[in-house]
Amino acid sequence: MNRRNFDRATKVAIIKRATRPDRQPACERCGAVGVKMDVHHKVMDAMEVDKSRKLTADDGELLCGPCHDPITATQRRHLAKALAREAKHVGADKPKSQIKSAGFPHRSRPHEGRPPVAGESEIARRFRDG
């Protein structure tokens, strides 16, 4: 899974959008100022189907650590569930355990030891006896 990162110009555009009039970047969720900020993908990049499209400033937001961490944790859980669902759908998961039955019993051959009927071949006798 290759993750697309925001290029420098896109990050600058996101930070400018989040900057307050007093020239301090603020969290776009809670408005916190003066803490470590992260540029967050609004839609998790691993869930994007079309990765050929270039990322824009609308695809990201500037978040502080307390806002960013729970969102990322939730997205990771959703991604793990989606990947597990996909693996099950395509049949990549192996069975949970072996089949616990004893299997089919071996059939004894009733045609062995019987005298052949006059004019009947061995193959015909096998079909008749089943």
In a domain, 110, yes or no: no
In a domain, 81, yes or no: yes
In a domain, 52, yes or no: yes
In a domain, 58, yes or no: yes
In a domain, 30, yes or no: yes
22-76 confidence digits (pLDDT tens): 889 999 998 889 889 999 998 888 888 788 888 889 999 999 989 999 998 998 9
In a domain, 18, yes or no: yes
pTM of the model: 0.61
| Number of domains within the chain | 1
In a domain, 120, yes or no: no
The arithmetic mean of pLDDT across residues 77-83, rounded, is 91
In a domain, 118, yes or no: no
| 82 or 104, higher pLDDT | 82
pLDDT at position 108, please?
A: 67
The domain in which residue 70 lies consists of 8-90
Residues 6+ apart with CB under 8 A from 4: 45, 48, 51, 55
Banded model confidence at residue 81, pLDDT cuts 50, 70, 90: very high
pLDDT at position 66, please?
A: 92
Residues 6+ apart with CB under 8 A from 51: 2, 4, 45
